[in-house]
């Protein structure tokens, strides 16, 4: 069985800041820095998208909608904002504060990968 593939979109943050827990789960990671590159990569159907909020003229919620249209779950990792968090929840997107503990993020990623594999 192929290892799960996660698309990480990190335009402002270093990818390592979003993935300090990456050795905890066996998966392959593809990192891109722009909305356009991420949207193009969605054609390869990664199992999960992990994105920051700010992606130039676009944002992580817009990318999450593109991912969902292809059946790919997405997690937006961004500063705490109750309005954006509510918007994300209404769209069916996981919104996680960028100040979340690494263990919490690892668990959410693992849960999303598991849900994608059985869903």
Output the tens digit of pLDDT for each of the chain's 119 residues. Answer: 477 789 999 876 555 555 555 555 677 888 898 999 999 999 999 999 999 888 989 999 999 999 999 999 999 988 899 999 999 999 989 998 877 777 777 788 888 888 877 76
CATH topology of domain 5-118: Rossmann fold (3.40.50)
> Is the separation of the CB atoms in 94 and 112 below 8 Å?
yes
The dihedral sign for the CA sequence 89, 104, 38, 1: negative
């Amino acid at each position: 069985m192929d290892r799960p593939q996660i698309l990480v979109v990190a335009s402002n943050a270093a990818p390592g800041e979003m993935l300090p827990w990456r050795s905890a789960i066996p998966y392959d990671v593809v990192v891109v820095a722009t909305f356009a590159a991420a949207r193009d990569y969605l054609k390869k159907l990664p199992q999960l998208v992990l994105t920051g909020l700010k992606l130039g003229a676009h944002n992580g919620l817009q990318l999450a909608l593109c991912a969902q249209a292809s059946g790919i779950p997405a997690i937006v990792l961004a500063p705490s904002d109750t309005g954006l968090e509510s918007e994300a929840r209404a769209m069916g997107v996981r919104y996680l504060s960028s100040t979340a503990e690494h263990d919490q993020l690892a668990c959410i990623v693992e849960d999303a990968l598991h849900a994608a594999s059985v869903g």
